[in-house]
């Protein structure tokens, strides 16, 4: 008994403008001349930014593109612990040493520890980072790293 060929997906195309159906066949199906303008074309499946079907009569193929899911947005909100983990132990020690009672930095740290979340896009946080940079508590590279962080990366 001869081996059967692996089925290939074909699309039934009418007038080269629309696909009526998709089917699997071992050999290309054939329609008689009376049944034109219908034609079976092999299907190529692909993934891309936009979904759609392209009928290419010259190449004799139908390309079906499945849209890829959108890239997830970076997670810019995290816990206080996740935020502090963005800083080296040395930087954390410098900040802790500078957070003397009654200072703006001390108040900011108390509020950050009590908060449910730290939003890296917050203007308050960005201003605090600018102040810490100006006071020499963090470097410009550390500030940039913090502001560009994706907590899920």
Give the tens place of pLDDT for each residue, 41-81.
Answer: 889 988 877 788 899 988 889 998 888 777 778 888 999 99
| pLDDT value of position 3 | 56
| pLDDT value of position 102 | 84
Q: Are residues 83 and 53 in the same domain?
A: no
Pairing type for strands 61-67 and 52-56 reads antiparallel
Q: Among 16, 44, 67, where does a domain finish?
A: 67
| pLDDT value of position 104 | 85
Q: Among 20, 47, 67, where does a domain finish?
A: 67
Q: Are residues 25 and 86 in the same domain?
A: no
Parent domain of 25: 8-67
Sequence-distant (≥ 6) Cβ neighbours of residue 80 within 8 angstroms? 112, 113, 115, 118
Q: Are residues 40 and 95 in the same domain?
A: no
Task: Indicate whether 153 belongs to any domain.
Answer: no
pTM of the model: 0.53
Q: Are residues 85 and 136 in the same domain?
A: yes
Q: Are residues 50 and 111 in the same domain?
A: no
Q: Among 40, 67, 94, where does a domain finish?
A: 67
Q: Are residues 81 and 137 in the same domain?
A: yes
Sequence-distant (≥ 6) Cβ neighbours of residue 119 within 8 angstroms? 76, 77, 125
Task: Indicate whether 3 belongs to any domain.
Answer: no
| pLDDT value of position 83 | 92
The total number of structural domains that make up the chain: 2
Alpha carbon 60 to its chain's center: 34
| pLDDT value of position 118 | 92
| pLDDT value of position 1 | 47
| pLDDT value of position 132 | 92
Give the residue ranges of the chain where pLDDT is below 50: 1
Q: Are residues 134 and 115 in the same domain?
A: yes
| Number of alpha helices (DSSP H) and beta strands (DSSP E) in the chain | 5, 7
Task: Indicate whether 1 belongs to any domain.
Answer: no
Q: Are residues 82 and 142 in the same domain?
A: yes
| pLDDT value of position 73 | 83
Task: Indicate whether 99 belongs to any domain.
Answer: yes
Task: Indicate whether 113 belongs to any domain.
Answer: yes
């Amino acid at each position: 008994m001869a081996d059967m060929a692996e089925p290939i997906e074909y699309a039934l195309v009418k007038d080269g403008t629309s696909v009526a159906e998709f089917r699997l066949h071992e050999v290309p199906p054939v329609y008689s001349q009376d049944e034109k303008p219908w034609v079976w074309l092999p299907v190529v499946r692909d993934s891309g930014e936009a979904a759609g079907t392209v009928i290419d009569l010259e190449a004799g193929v139908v390309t079906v593109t499945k849209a890829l899911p959108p890239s997830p947005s970076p997670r810019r909100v995290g816990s206080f612990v996740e935020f502090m983990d963005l800083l080296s132990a040395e930087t954390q020690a410098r900040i802790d040493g500078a957070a003397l009672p009654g200072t703006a930095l001390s108040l900011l740290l108390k509020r950050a520890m009590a908060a449910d979340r730290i939003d890296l896009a917050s203007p308050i946080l960005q201003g605090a980072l600018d102040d810490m940079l100006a006071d020499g508590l963090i470097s410009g590279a550390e500030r940039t790293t913090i502001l560009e962080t994706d907590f899920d990366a």
